[in-house]
Each structure stands twice: as C-alpha cells, then as structure tokens.
C-alpha cells in the first residue's frame, strides 16, 4: 500500500511539472544544443563521446567553476566574504594543488572514465537526441544522485577520519586548513577511488541517457567546488537547494578536522549529531556579532 501511494505521488508530481512545462516559453538554446548534439553523434563514435567527451566535460567544468573563487583573492571587496580571513591563499599552495590535480585527473580518473563506454554498452544506455530526457527529469535524477552520493560520502568520509587510518589517506586532503575551490579534488589516490565511488552509484540507479553522466558531473563539481571555495557569498543560488550545507558548513570541517562529514546536505550530520560543534560555533559567532553591534 505504501509503495503504491509513493508511486501515485511521484506520478502526480511528474504530471504537474509536465503541465507547468507546457506553459513555459521555448528555450532559445535548445535548437543550437540539438544541432551541436547531432553533429557530435554524426562525427564521433560512441567510444570517443563517452571517453573523451566525458574527460572534456570534467576538465572544462572543473577549472571554469574554479575561476570565480580564484579571482576573488585579487578583489579587496570580496575579502569580507572569505570565511577564514586570517588564512589567505598562496601561490605555493595553489601550484602544489594544481600539480596534484593533474596527476589525479589523468592517472586516476581518466582510467575510470575509459570504462564509461563499456558501462553504456552493457546497460544499453542511449545517446540519441530523441531519447534524451526532459530538463525536469534530469534535475530530479541529479538530485537523486546527490542524495545517494551524500549518504556514501558521509559514512566513508567519517570512516576515513578514524584515527587508525586518517594519517595514511585523508590527511592529504586536509593539508589545506583554509580550503579554496581548486582543492575540491585534491586528495590521496585511494581517497579519490573510495569517495569517488559514491558518484557512480546514482548513475547505475538512474542513468537512462548518456547526458545524465555529464549533467551529474557538472552538478557534483558545482557543489564540491562551492563548499571548498572558502567564500560564503550572498545570493548563492545553490542555497535554494533544500538542506544544502554550503561553504561555511564544510569550511568548519577543514578548520577543525572533525564533524560536518556530509558532502552536500546537512541531514546525516544532524541525525548523528556530528554537526554539534558547528552549531555551537555558529551560536558563539552570533553572540559576538550582537556584542559588537551594541
């Protein structure tokens, strides 16, 4: 009975969104995107699309999303939004981070990306334009992927903080007490594999078109670069996502090496009480601000 009720609710929600979508104006970017997508299908093989296309999407998205945070360090006005203002970025740290990223991207992640084609072939995942899901289906699928990845990340990340294994793997990621966007994927190769596995679980569950792979890559990078940015910028559209943790939440984790283990949402830390120190810290900061205003 409960299962039927859940299915009915999801079907009703889908029909409601589909009805609303019918009143929205045509997306002016849809036709150029369709032309580009069909050009890609006509000129490249599935292997090339799945492998090199995925690599390009990852690399371009990653470093483009890092650009705003990188520029902020040169803008005095933005320094008031930096969370740890006493720990500015340095060229030395950023260069070290960049070199490690290149190694991880091309020697750890690229071999995994090479398996994308075989995954799509095994599960008969379509590439065609006609089979591509509507935008609201993609949004829902990406949210589902984020929920699954967040659960995996919370428990495995918390395990990596165990005193017996922390110094061997996860300590690498915590070399930077004050994080910056490019540091999001700065990690020990084993951590890249362990925590990165959570990314693929949602794909296995939801993937019905290769475009979801790329949409989820962009969404995940957008989130992880934001929480590692070191800046709590107002009017951040990601804060519209329900239960979104944000930069201040994760920055506290880097500052104190404990608590706030989830990657995207706050509910696991709230459920297990691993955000208690963060809540106490926030209350203390609010009291300081009240005293200052008086």
The pLDDT of residue 11 is: 57
Tokens 């589902």 belong to 144
Q: How many whole angstroms separate alpha carbon 155 and alpha carbon 82?
A: 29
The pLDDT of residue 12 is: 57
Could you list the pLDDT tens digit for every one of the 294 residues in the chain?
A: 444 554 455 455 555 666 566 666 777 888 999 999 999 999 999 999 999 999 999 999 999 999 999 999 999 999 999 999 989 889 999 999 999 999 999 999 999 999 999 999 999 999 999 999 999 999 999 999 999 999 999 999 999 999 999 999 999 999 989 999 999 999 999 999 999 999 999 999 999 999 999 999 999 999 999 999 999 999 999 999 999 999 999 999 999 999 999 999 999 999 999 999 999 988 887 877 765 555
Provide Rg for the chain, Cα atoms. Answer: 21
b vs e for 239-250, b when ≥16 Cβ sit within 10 Å of the residue's Cβ? eebeebbbbbbb
Closest by CA to 34, choosing from 106, 130, 99, 112, is: 130
Q: How many whole angstroms separate alpha carbon 198 and alpha carbon 184?
A: 15
Residues 6+ apart with CB under 8 A from 68: 181, 229
Q: How many whole angstroms separate alpha carbon 105 and alpha carbon 184?
A: 12
* The token pair that represents 292 in the structure block: 């200052």
Residues 6+ apart with CB under 8 A from 69: 180, 181, 182, 225, 229, 230, 231
The pLDDT of residue 284 is: 85
CB 213, CB 54: distance < 8 Å: yes
pTM for the whole structure: 0.91
Query: DSSP letters of the chain?
Result: -HHHHHHHHHHHHHHHHHHHHTTSPPPTTHHHHHHHHHHHHHHS-HHHIIIIIHHHHHHHHHHHHHHHHHHHTT-GGGGGGBSSTTS---HHHHHHHHHHHHHIIIIIIHHHHTTHHHHHHHTT----STTPPPHHHHHHHHHHHHHHHHHHHHHHHHHHTSTTTGGGTGGGGGG-SS--GGGGG---HHHHHHHHHHHHHHHHHH-SSHHHHHHHHHHHHHHHHHHTSSB--TT-GGGGSTTB--HHHHHHHHHHSSS---SSBSHHHHHHTTTHHHHHHHHHHHHHHHHHH-
Give the angle 235-79-181 at the CA atoms, nearest 5°. Answer: 70
Q: How many whole angstroms separate alpha carbon 187 and alpha carbon 175?
A: 9
Total length of the chain: 294
């Amino acid at each position: 009975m409960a299962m039927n009720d859940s299915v009915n609710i999801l079907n009703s929600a889908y029909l409601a969104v589909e009805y609303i979508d019918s009143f929205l104006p045509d997306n002016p970017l849809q036709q150029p995107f369709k032309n580009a997508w069909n050009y890609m299908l006509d000129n490249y093989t599935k292997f090339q699309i799945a492998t090199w296309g995925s690599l390009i999407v990852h690399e371009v998205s990653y470093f483009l999303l890092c650009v705003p945070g990188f520029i902020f360090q040169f803008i005095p006005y933005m320094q008031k939004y930096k969370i740890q203002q006493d720990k500015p970025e340095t060229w030395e740290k950023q260069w070290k981070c960049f070199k490690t990223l290149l190694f991880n991207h091309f020697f750890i992640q690229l071999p995994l990306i090479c398996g994308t084609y075989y995954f799509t072939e095994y599960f008969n995942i379509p590439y065609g334009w006609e089979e591509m899901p509507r935008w609201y289906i993609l949004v829902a699928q990406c949210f589902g992927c984020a929920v699954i990845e967040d659960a995996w990340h919370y428990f495995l990340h918390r395990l990596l903080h165990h005193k017996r294994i922390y110094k061997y793997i996860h300590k690498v990621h915590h070399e930077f007490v004050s994080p910056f966007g490019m540091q999001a994927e700065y990690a020990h190769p084993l951590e890249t594999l362990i925590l990165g596995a959570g990314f693929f679980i949602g794909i296995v569950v939801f993937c019905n078109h290769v475009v979801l792979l790329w949409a989820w890559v962009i969404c995940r990078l957008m989130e992880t670069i934001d929480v590692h940015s070191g800046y709590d910028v107002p009017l951040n559209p990601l804060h519209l996502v329900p239960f979104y943790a944000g930069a201040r939440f994760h920055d506290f984790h880097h500052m104190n090496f404990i608590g706030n283990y989830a990657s995207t949402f706050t509910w696991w830390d709230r459920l297990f009480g691993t955000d208690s120190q963060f809540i106490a810290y926030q209350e203390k900061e609010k009291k300081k601000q009240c005293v200052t205003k008086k």
